[in-house]
Amino acid sequence: MNFFRGVMGGQAAGPQPSGAETIQKLCDRVASSTLLEDRRDAVRALKSLSKKYRMEVGTQAMEHLINILQTDRSDSEILGYALDTLYNLICNDEEEEQDESEDAVTPIPASGKHKNVSMPEILEKEQDEAMQKQSDDLGAQFTEQFIQDPEHITLILSLLEEFDFHVRWPGVKLLTALLKNQGVQVQGIILVSPMGVSRLMDLLADSREVIRNDGLLLLQQLTKSNAAIQKIVAFESAFERLLDIITEEGSSDGGIVVEDCLLLLLNLLKNNSSNQNFFKEGSYIQRMKPWFEVGDDNSGWSAQKVTNLHLMLQLVRVMVSPVNSPGASASCQKSMYQCGLLQQLCTILMATGVPADILTETINTVSEVIRGSQVNQDYFASVNAPSNPPRPAIVVLLMSMVNERQPFVLRCAVLYCFQCFLYKNQKGQGEIVATLLPSTIDANSISAGQLLCGGLFSADSLSNWCASVALAHALQDNLTQKEQLLRVQLATSLGKPPVSLLQQCTNILSQGDKIARRVSNACV
């Protein structure tokens, strides 16, 4: 025992052995000792040395650690030490603490000048980057060594069946690190392992939150870019479990666990038509509606809530994306209208106090929920903003599109929404063009047509562009509306006779001095 006291920091007579020598002696003890207690103490010592002497421990001890996992299954303590040691060898820790001096390099002081960076700070940063690269290389090297025998992955999967916290938790972390370093290879091994995916899905039912939460991170890595595993995970009741966790954790008001659930759902659904259909047929779209129930007081949104809402909106868009098959998207659009999800999204559109980035993403989401769906487009046309007097949502959005003070991404989102509203919607095209015709113009209200004409001849080139593209979509594949637009007359200035819209566009094309304005009007 004097030997172990020396290793763990106690006083020992004579010169102290080097790190490599100590590790070699510990490995010999693990391999040769007949007493479980001695082996356990040796593995514990290896664990304590595995971060400082990562190369030496990995090179000399990995085989012995794997052997411990195979032969000492009855002792949870030694299994935990062995798994922790392997994790330290394989994991590339990217969360290193930064010095205050390093943090001070990036900001720009109030004077507007960059702070001078000293040579020692530069050298320190370069040294940190070199150490991180070396750490990454070691992680990749030891991962390759570990997975050379696929049975090692199968061994870790079998250990995850152990309920003991000191075995299950480090096993989850180790498998996650292996997936991060060699995702494709480890995925392939798990895929052909009997009940491999099922064992990992059991982690979501673990009553200990730390294991369940780390299980979410493991499943995120497992399902990346692997459609076969995504399907198995989905049919192992993943949707039901994840939606339950999201609800339990507070939905959009929840913390990082909600974010992890949403990221896993995105992995399972994005570009996977089979899972998308399973999600729709399982009536899980209806369970998304409560996510978007925002209150009257929308001030003080936390950064986590904004992140959660972004991911939730992305999930809706995944289900109705234009890249999906038309039939699949149409079916999801129908479900979103019937369960009230579209109506809830439109409520957010017209709410006050919603953060600008959430508002922009909501506009993009509504766009794809209504795109090409006549029922949804008709509903969107009927939505009014809660103003006095009430104004159609389309008019309110167009006011933002032609307002040069609004953020660029918001204006582009409104243009996309307008395009989706008119996509394969001849009824909507006719209603928009009608607001430009003399017989339908109401002098006491602002119409979509007035806003588009105002944007078409604005001094702001982006307004020109947005308005002209919007008008072009009002005419696309619609001969009747093209003929109607020829009737539109514009009053260019007081006391001068009106000119046709087509003539005014031609005048700009021939006389305009701004290329952007000339090109934008050519869109019409």
Question: Is the torsion defined by CA of 452, 457, 460, 465 positive or negative?
Answer: positive
For 471, the domain range is: 385-524
Query: Which pLDDT value is given to residue 481?
Result: 87
Query: Which pLDDT value is given to residue 96?
Result: 40
**Any idea which residue has 């991180």 for tokens?**
132
The answer to whether residue 402 sits within a structural domain is yes
Whether the pLDDT of residue 88 is over 60: the answer is yes
The answer to whether residue 319 sits within a structural domain is no
The answer to whether residue 327 sits within a structural domain is no
Whether the pLDDT of residue 57 is over 70: the answer is yes
Kindly list the distances between the CA atom of residue 354 and the CA atoms of 102, 246, 370, in Å, as whole numbers in the listed order: 35, 22, 21
Kindly list the distances between the CA atom of residue 369 and the CA atoms of 44, 165, 314, 331, 417, in Å, as whole numbers in the listed order: 57, 45, 12, 11, 10
Q: pTM score, two decimals?
A: 0.85
Total number of domains constituting the chain: 1
Rounded-to-integer distance, Cα 39 and Cα 26, Å: 9
The answer to whether residue 35 sits within a structural domain is no
Structure tokens at 240: 């039901």
The answer to whether residue 228 sits within a structural domain is no
The answer to whether residue 515 sits within a structural domain is yes
Rounded-to-integer distance, Cα 252 and Cα 238, Å: 19
Summarize the confidence of residues 251-278 as an average pLDDT: 96
Q: What angle do CA 98, 104, 109 make, to 5 degrees?
A: 160
Pick from 269, 372, 363: nearest CA to 330: 372
Whether the pLDDT of residue 3 is over 50: the answer is no
Rounded-to-integer distance, Cα 355 and Cα 364, Å: 14
Summarize the confidence of residues 298-305 as an average pLDDT: 84
Residue 466 near residue 401, CB atoms below 8 Å: yes
Rounded-to-integer distance, Cα 172 and Cα 159, Å: 9
Query: Which pLDDT value is given to residue 517?
Result: 53
In the 8-state DSSP scheme, what is residue 489? E
CATH number of the domain within which 490 lies: 1.25.10.10
**Which residues have C-beta within 8 Å of that of residue 409, sequence separation ≥ 6?**
360
Query: Which pLDDT value is given to residue 95?
Result: 46
Q: What is the DSSP string of 345-409?
A: HHHHHH-SS--HHHHHHHHHHHHHHHTT-HHHHHHHHH-EES-SS-EEHHHHHHHHHT-TTS-HH
Whether the pLDDT of residue 4 is over 60: the answer is no
Residue 307 near residue 259, CB atoms below 8 Å: yes
**pLDDT digits over 188-235, tens only?**
999 999 889 999 999 999 999 999 999 999 999 999 999 999 999 999
Pick from 1, 133, 162, 141: nearest CA to 69: 162
425: left (phi over 0), alpha (psi -120 to 50) or beta: beta
The answer to whether residue 16 sits within a structural domain is no
Residue 377 near residue 324, CB atoms below 8 Å: no
Summarize the confidence of residues 294-302 as an average pLDDT: 75
Phi, psi for residue 490 in degrees, rounded to 5: -120, 140
Whether the pLDDT of residue 322 is over 90: the answer is yes
Summarize the confidence of residues 75-88 as an average pLDDT: 97
**pLDDT digits over 162-180, tens only?**
999 999 999 999 999 999 9
The answer to whether residue 471 sits within a structural domain is yes
Rounded-to-integer distance, Cα 374 and Cα 333, Å: 10
Residue type, 94: E
Give the SS3 label for residue 500: strand
**Which residues have C-beta within 8 Å of that of residue 490, sequence separation ≥ 6?**
453, 498, 499, 500, 501, 504
Confidence of residue 502 (pLDDT cuts 50, 70, 90): confident
Residue 272 near residue 235, CB atoms below 8 Å: no
